[in-house]
Amino acid sequence: MTSQAIHAPVRCSITVAVPRERAYAVFVENTGNWWSTEHHIGAVRPEAIVLEQRPGGRWFERAPDGTECDWGRVLELEPPARVLLAWHLGPDFRYDPDPARATEVEVRFVAEGPSSTRVELEHRGFEVHGDAGGGMRAAVGAPDGWGLFMRELAAALTA
């Protein structure tokens, strides 16, 4: 695989049967606590994932005991069309406060009709980890890291 392919953005999209304003609001306000909570950084399952509603705001998970773990930062908010987030988790899935090593998550809300919205998510900028060196080693070996992910994956694929 070429390094260009390795660093290619991860893209996902989904169409939801709601107006664009609603889709945007549900996304940024985490309405119904929809964020997948099976993957988290803290030791316990978070009770909430929070996006602070301002540029420069925090993006973090909060555990039931109040402990907070940062995921990244809110860079740009353009209701109801677009959100740009900085993802501060490295290849070892640990928080790295250095913006120079953050990757970007852009979410676009495209109206397809009065009550249909296409949500396009692009996670990009992986070239900043081009010399990350060894971060995976700890993550793969950790019982709650890659080992867990691979067991989950196996279960999902053989279900």
Partner 1 sequence: MTTNVSDGLTALADPTRRALFERLAERPRSVGELAAGVPVSRPAVSQHLRVLKDAGLVRDRREGTRRIYGLDPDGIGAMRAYLDRFWTSALAAFKDAAEADTQEDR
Residues at the contact surface with partner 1, assessed by CB under 8 A: 1, 5-8, 10-18, 22-23, 26-27, 31-36, 38-39, 91-93, 119, 121, 123, 126, 129-137, 139-141, 146-147, 149-150, 153-154, 157
Say whether the peptide bond before residue 80 is cis (omega within 30 degrees of 0).
Answer: yes
Residue pair 62/40 in contact by the 8 Å Cβ criterion: no
Q: What Rg do the C-alpha atoms of the chain give, in angstroms?
A: 17
| Residue with smaller CB distance to partner 1, 43 or 153 | 153
| Residue with smaller CB distance to partner 1, 17 or 81 | 17
Contacts of residue 48, defined as CB under 8 A and 6 or more positions apart, other chains included, come to 30, 33, 61, 62
CB of 63 to partner 1, least distance (A): 19
| Residue with smaller CB distance to partner 1, 37 or 65 | 37
Task: Please measure the distance between the N-terminal and C-terminal CA atoms of the chain and give it in whole angstroms.
Answer: 29
| Residue with smaller CB distance to partner 1, 20 or 73 | 20
